[in-house]
Structure 1
Amino acid sequence: MFLPKYPENPTPPSAHTHAPTDPAPARRGLASLPVDQKTVLALLVGGVVLTALLAAVAVTAISVAVATVVLRSLLREQHRR
């Protein structure tokens, strides 16, 4: 007599079959924005202004650093005399 290796599942198969649902629609990362000439011009002007402000801050920082070195040198010379 032949015995199966694994006993059969005693529960009967379910009468209800699951139908696959429709796949979720693909989501896009960002909504498309209309780009016109005014938008491009505003971005360019904003970039130029921010770049100019950054350059002004850098020049001011360098000027303060140079003035500090010169003043320290002058004060050091004054104390030696």
Structure 2
Amino acid sequence: MTPAAQTPSPALVAPSPSRPAVQLTPGTALALVGGGTAVVLVVGAVLVSMLLAVTVTATAVAVCAVVVRSLLTRR
């Protein structure tokens, strides 16, 4: 008889050192809230300006279409 193959015992895994917790001071929290608010305001302003640009362009195209139509119907 052959001796049974012995399975190696699992190696003890050392627990990884825990990462230090992030200290959130009131000043840091206030800075994060202020920065987030500024980002939201800037993105909102950009989106509103893009919407305004689309509106102005659509109005200009509509006016041009009305003018061209009136010029063509007079002939």
Consecutive aligned runs of 4 or more in structure 1 exceeding 6 Å deviation: none
Q: What secondary structure, in the 3-state scheme, does the structure 2 residue paired with 1:22 have? A: coil
TM-score by length of 1: 0.68
What's the TM-score, normalizing by structure 2?
Answer: 0.73
Q: Work out the CA distance in 1 between the residues paired with 2:59 and 2:49.
A: 15
Residue ranges of structure 1 left out of the alignment (5+ in a row): 1-7
Is the alpha carbon distance of 1:68 and 1:23 closer, same or farther for their aligned partners in structure 2, counting shifts above 3 Å?
same
Structure 2: where are the runs of 5+ without partners? 71-75
Q: Classify the secondary structure of the residue corresponding to 1:34.
A: coil
Matches of residues 19-38 of structure 1 in structure 2 within 5 Å?
Answer: 21-26=11-16, 28=18, 30-38=19-27
| Equivalent-residue separation in structure 1 for 2:56 and 2:10 (angstroms) | 75
| 2:65 counterpart (72, 76, 79) | 76
* Aligned with residue 31 of structure 2, among 24, 29, 42: 42
| Separation in structure 2 between the aligned mates of residue 40 and residue 54 of structure 1, nearest angstrom | 21
Q: Percent identity?
A: 21
2:52 to 56, 63, 76: 63
Offset from partner CA, 1:11-48 (integer Å, 9 cap, x none): 7x9xxxx77643321454x5311110111011001001
The structure number with the bigger radius of gyration is 1
Call closer, same or farther: CA 1:20–1:57 in 2, change over 3 Å.
closer
Distance 1:20 1:71 in 2: 76
